[in-house]
């Protein structure tokens, strides 16, 4: 049966419509992009473990993926659970200290101050605590629905991420080949080449994160040891591990360090716990700004072949516009789009889509003097 081919103009109009609809779909689902990219990144990190269980231990791949996911969830849940007894003890101590401080402040405000013959009653500055408590309860009640809604949405996103990780771990190769087969046969080789290039970008980004975590962990461990911080090596290790979460991770780590400083003090510095905590905050502020302004752009720039300044501006813009998740993935996403843009640019100019690597010229051979010359 003979079919009439589409005219050239109709094909162009249809292609334009598809591009516009695809752009609208991406814009409409933009909130889902970051969690899905995070899921793909986690699946990429966990894939070697699944491969070991599947290829060497001979466990079915679906079961291997399930074991890896539940082992990871178990580790995430068990670590805070192990810290709960210690945290409860510290919270009780902190509550007692805060109660004593509150009573001292109340007594101080209750005493009049005589200054140059004038008597000042500071108790007028004391807030109406019952009213503050009532206002807090009212605020919590009014926002309860929003809190519940936000919690439900976050739980659903976590579920989506876990399911996405599972399917990527089980059948990433099948999904990749399915995408290749959608494309015309003449462009499948280009797609495979682009995939390998983009894969190299993400691999370099992961290596950069590991390097950054190692450097930050070592530097903070040395800093905490230098000032006599109890548990300095553990706190430095935690800071290094949490560095993978931009801004929030190190802030959590320094929060733990400040709590330790307030309760334990320094091992050998003869200063009060409060001043020791302020010293910890000051050291953190200096080191974390060095990391954000110089070290992180330097390492990520070298890892994904981008300029350090571009990396710095991209991370700051992502934090402002998209939050922590955006900052976590903006560098490899930007580098990946750079590869795609270079491919399209070279195709439009009729050049080879993938520039050949430049090999250094061989050094010239030195002529050896002939005998008798």
345-363 pLDDT tens trace? 888 888 888 876 655 555 5
Residues 107 and 195 in one domain: no
Most confident range (mean pLDDT) of 3-7, 34-38, 178-182, 366-370 is 178-182
Residue ending a domain, among 146, 162, 182, is 182
C-beta of residue 290 within 8 angstroms of C-beta of residue 216: no
Residue ending a domain, among 151, 166, 182, is 182
Range of the domain at 160: 32-114+124-182
Cα of first residue to Cα of last residue in the chain, in angstroms, is 84
Residue-wise pLDDT for 110-134, tens only, equals 666 666 666 666 555 555 545 555 5
Residues 220 and 162 in one domain: no
Does 95 map to a domain? yes
Residue ending a domain, among 161, 182, 203, is 182
CA distance 261 to 284: 13
Residues 172 and 106 in one domain: yes
Does 46 map to a domain? yes
- Residue 11's pLDDT band, with cuts at 50, 70 and 90, is confident
pLDDT at 344 over 60: yes
Structure tokens that stand for 63 in this block: 């079961």
Residues 167 and 312 in one domain: no
pLDDT of residue 372: 47
Residue-wise pLDDT for 333-342, tens only, equals 899 999 999 9
- Whether pTM exceeds 0.85: no
pLDDT at 49 over 80: yes
CA distance 205 to 336: 11
Residues facing residue 120 across a β-bridge: 113
CA distance 369 to 373: 7
pLDDT at 317 over 70: yes
Residues 285 and 196 in one domain: yes
pLDDT at 369 over 60: no
Q: Which of 133-147, 199-213, 282-296 has the lowest mean pLDDT?
A: 133-147
Residues 72 and 104 in one domain: yes
CA distance 246 to 261: 24
C-beta of residue 272 within 8 angstroms of C-beta of residue 252: no
Residues 206 and 135 in one domain: no
Q: Compute the average pLDDT of residues 185-191.
A: 86
pLDDT at 33 over 50: yes
Does 119 map to a domain? no
Does 17 map to a domain? no
Buried b (16+ CB within 10 A) or exposed e, 133-160: eeeeeeeeeeeeeeeeeeeeeeeebeee
CA distance 219 to 236: 8
CA distance 244 to 206: 10
- Residue 8's pLDDT band, with cuts at 50, 70 and 90, is confident
269 compared with 103, residue with greater pLDDT: 269
Our count of domains for the chain comes to: 2
**Which residue bears the tokens 């330097």?**
298
Q: Compute the average pLDDT of residues 237-262.
A: 86
CA distance 126 to 164: 54
pLDDT at 220 over 90: yes
pLDDT at 104 over 80: no
pLDDT of residue 181: 87
Residues 149 and 85 in one domain: yes
CA distance 33 to 326: 10
Does 314 map to a domain? yes
Does 268 map to a domain? yes
pLDDT of residue 287: 93
Question: DSSP letter string over 285-337?
Answer: HHHHHHIIIIIHHHHHHHHHT--HHHHHHHHHHHHHHHHHHHHHHHHHHHHHH
pLDDT of residue 286: 93
Residues 176 and 192 in one domain: no
Does 172 map to a domain? yes
CA distance 29 to 341: 22
Residue-wise pLDDT for 250-293, tens only, equals 888 888 888 888 887 888 888 888 888 899 999 999 999 999 88
Q: Which residue from 284, 228, 276, 283 is spatially nearest to 251, judged by alpha carbons?
A: 284
Angle between helices 273-290 and 248-264 (to 10 degrees): 160
Does 24 map to a domain? no
- Residue 213's pLDDT band, with cuts at 50, 70 and 90, is very high
Residues 241 and 173 in one domain: no
Give percent above pLDDT 90 in the chain.
10
CA dist 69 → 167, 203, 357 (Å):
11, 21, 39
- Residue 47's pLDDT band, with cuts at 50, 70 and 90, is confident
Residues 313 and 273 in one domain: yes
Residues 176 and 215 in one domain: no
pLDDT of residue 373: 44
**Which residue bears the tokens 């334990």?**
264
Give percent above pLDDT 70 in the chain.
75
């Amino acid at each position: 049966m003979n079919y009439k081919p589409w005219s050239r103009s109709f094909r162009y109009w249809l292609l334009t419509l598809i591009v516009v609809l695809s752009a609208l779909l991406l814009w409409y689902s933009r909130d889902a992009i970051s969690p899905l990219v995070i899921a793909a990144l986690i699946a990429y990190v966990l894939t070697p473990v699944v491969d070991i269980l599947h290829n060497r231990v001979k466990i079915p791949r679906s079961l291997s993926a399930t074991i890896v996911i539940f082992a990871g969830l178990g580790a995430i849940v068990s670590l805070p659970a192990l810290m709960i007894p210690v945290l409860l003890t510290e919270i009780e101590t902190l509550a007692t200290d805060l109660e004593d401080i509150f009573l001292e402040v109340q007594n101080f405000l209750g005493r009049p101050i005589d200054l140059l013959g004038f008597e000042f009653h500071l108790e007028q500055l004391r807030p109406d605590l019952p009213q503050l408590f009532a206002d807090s309860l009212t605020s919590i009640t009014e926002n309860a629905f929003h809190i519940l809604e936000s919690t439900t949405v976050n739980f659903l996103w976590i579920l989506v991420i876990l399911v996405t990780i599972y399917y990527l771990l089980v059948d990433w190769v099948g999904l990749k080949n399915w995408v290749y087969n959608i494309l015309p046969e003449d462009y499948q080789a280009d797609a495979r080449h682009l995939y390998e290039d983009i894969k190299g970008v993400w691999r370099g980004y992961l290596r950069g994160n590991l390097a950054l975590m190692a450097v930050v962990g070592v530097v903070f461990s040395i800093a905490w040891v230098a000032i006599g911080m109890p548990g300095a090596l553990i706190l430095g290790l935690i800071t290094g591990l949490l560095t993978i979460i931009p801004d929030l991770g190190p802030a959590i780590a320094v929060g733990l360090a400040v709590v330790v400083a307030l309760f334990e003090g320094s091992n050998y510095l003869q200063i009060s716990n409060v001043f020791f905590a302020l010293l910890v905050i000051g050291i953190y502020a200096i080191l974390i700004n060095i990391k954000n302004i110089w070290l992180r752009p330097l390492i990520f720039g070298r890892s994904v072949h981008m300029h350090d300044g571009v990396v710095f501006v991209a991370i700051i813009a992502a934090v402002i516009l998209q939050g922590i998740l955006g900052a976590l993935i903006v560098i490899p996403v930007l580098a990946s789009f750079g590869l795609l843009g270079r491919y399209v640019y070279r195709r439009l100019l009729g050049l080879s889509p993938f520039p050949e690597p430049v090999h250094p010229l061989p050094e010239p051979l030195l002529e050896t003097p002939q005998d008798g010359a």
